[in-house]
Every structure is written in structure tokens, then in C-alpha cells.
Amino acid sequence: MLVFAHRGASADAPENTLAAIEEALKQQADGIEVDIQQVDQEFIVFHDREMSRRTNGTGLLKDYSLSELQALDAGQGQNIPTLWQLLEAINGRCLVNLELKRITDVALLHDIIDQAIQSLNFTAEQFIISSFDHHLLLATQQLAPHIKIAALTASKPVEYAAFAQSLNAYSVNVDMTCLDQHFVQDAKRRGLKIMVYTVDEPKELLQLKEWQVDGVFSNSPQRSLQILRT
């Protein structure tokens, strides 16, 4: 089972910062998941639409310019990184799950991924693009059919993983709170991988291992890897 660092190793460093990325690499996570938002013609690594939970700013992200966002403290003196800074920091050392939050120009995002494949040590196989916004996944499929897509859900649809299959997704990424064994079996029967967020509890990790889930998103990758190896 693959262990992705959720927002980087976010139990040990401020989430979605380069410190959380370095920590995830140190903890030997199989992959790193981060949240991506667009600001003008740039992409930043940040989860919320409001600034106060994770920075010393207040109000809505959309009311900030890129330079104002970059001047904020995202915890322990860390800045909000750009997508390119994140890719340079990882430089092909593990898998990368870019979760698209508020994005308007998918083509521009794929230009950056292409640039990372051409000028950094990444291969296309190392990227997974996920989103709760399945229209962004369709746009990704049209622009970059060689990149894997993962359909996110925070609920248990009546037809389980059928929506992900209809998107021709690589995986369905499901909230732990609505997962059951039937959901896992349904995804596998449809030829989909199944990945689960956010999982740090030993009992849950071992349950998912028994169900042969393909991956988890964990805030403490090292600890989760240790538990799964027992």
C-alpha cells in the first residue's frame, strides 16, 4: 500500500509548505499530496479559501495579490510556495498528487507539469491529478491524456465508484469516514485503484491493508509506513 504525505508531512511541519515537503521526503513517503490554487497566472500550494487558519493573514485568498500571499507567514517562518517551487523541491524523488482546488486555466497548469518533466527529474508516470471538481479532471484528460487522474469524493455515491469509472480515472480517492469494504470491492471490480484520506489511526491503517486498498494519505507518513510494515 502506498503512503502519501497529506499536505506534505503535515503532522510535523506546517501543511503545504516546503518544510512539510522536505519532512515527507525525509520520512520516505511514497508520494506527496498537496493542494493547488490559481492566483492570476500563477499556481500556489494552499488548501483553504480563507487565510487565517494557516497564515498570519485574514480574509479571502481571492482578495490577495500573489506578492501579498508570498509575504505571509504560513507557520514557522515558512512561505506559501508556488507549484514550481514545490516541483523543484521534490525533483522526481517520489510520486506527486496535485489536488486541484480553485483552478481556472488547466492548460497553464499542464504547461508547468510538462516543464517539470522536461527540465527536472520527473517522469509523467509520477504525477496524479486529483480533484473534487470532476470537470477539471475531464479538462486534464483532454489536454494531457498521459497523466493519471483521480476522482475525489467525500461521500458514498449510490453507485459507489461508477462515477470514477465513467471518468476513466486511474483511481477513486475516498474519505475514510464514508468508506466500507463494499466500496473497496466495487472500485476493484471496476478496475480502479482505491486511495483513502486522511488516515493516521493504526486500527484504520491495518483495516485498509486487510481490504487491499492501494494507497492512503497520511499526515504522519513515517509512522503510517511503520504500522503497515508490522
Residues serving a catalytic function are 6, 47
Of residues 34 and 205, the one with the C-beta less far from Mg ion: 34
Site for Mg ion in 87-116 (CB under 5 A): 99
* Residue of 145, 187, 143 whose CA lies nearest to 165: 187
**How far is the C-alpha of 167 from the C-alpha of 148, rounded, in Å?**
11
173 interface partner picked from ligand G3P, Mg ion, none, CB below 5 to 8 A per type: ligand G3P
d(CA 122, CA 36): 18
* Distances 30 to 3, 22, 202 between C-alpha atoms, Å: 5, 13, 18
Least distance to ligand G3P, CB of residue 4, Å? 8
Query: For 78-126, where are the E strands, in sequence order?
Result: 95-100
Q: Which does 197 bind (CB under 5 to 8 A by kind): Mg ion, ligand G3P, none?
A: ligand G3P
How many angstroms separate the most distant Cα atoms in the chain? 48
Beta-strand pair 42-45/31-39:
antiparallel
Toward ligand G3P, which CB reaches closer, 36 or 230? 36
Q: Rounded to 10 degrees, what is the CA torsion of 193, 197, 199, 204?
A: -60
Q: Which residue has the cell 490554487?
A: 37
For Mg ion, the binding residues in 26-55 under the rule CB under 5 A are 35
Among 23, 33, 186, 204, interactor with ligand G3P by CB under 6 A: 33
- Count of residues engaged in binding Mg ion, rule: CB under 5 A: 2
Q: How far is the CB of 172 from ligand G3P (least distance, A)?
A: 11
* Minimum distance from residue 215 beta carbon to Mg ion (Å): 13
Residue 146 burial (CB count, 10 A): 8
Size of the site for ligand G3P (CB under 6 A): 10
Q: Which amino acid is at 147?
A: I
Q: How far is the CB of 198 from ligand G3P (least distance, A)?
A: 6
CB atoms within 10 A of CB 82: 19
Stretch 105-134 residues interacting with ligand G3P (CB under 6 A): 130
Are residues 161 and 190 in contact, defined by beta-carbon separation less than 8 angstroms?
yes
Q: Which entry of ligand G3P, Mg ion, none binds 224, CB below 5 to 8 A by partner kind?
A: none
Among 43, 197, 222, 224, binds ligand G3P (CB under 6 A): 197
Q: Which residue has the cell 459507489?
A: 160
Of ligand G3P, Mg ion, none, which one does residue 148 interact with (CB within 5 to 8 Å by kind)?
none
Residues 124-183 that bind ligand G3P (CB under 6 A): 130, 152, 173
Residues that bind ligand G3P (CB under 6 A): 6, 33, 35, 47, 99, 130, 152, 173, 197, 217
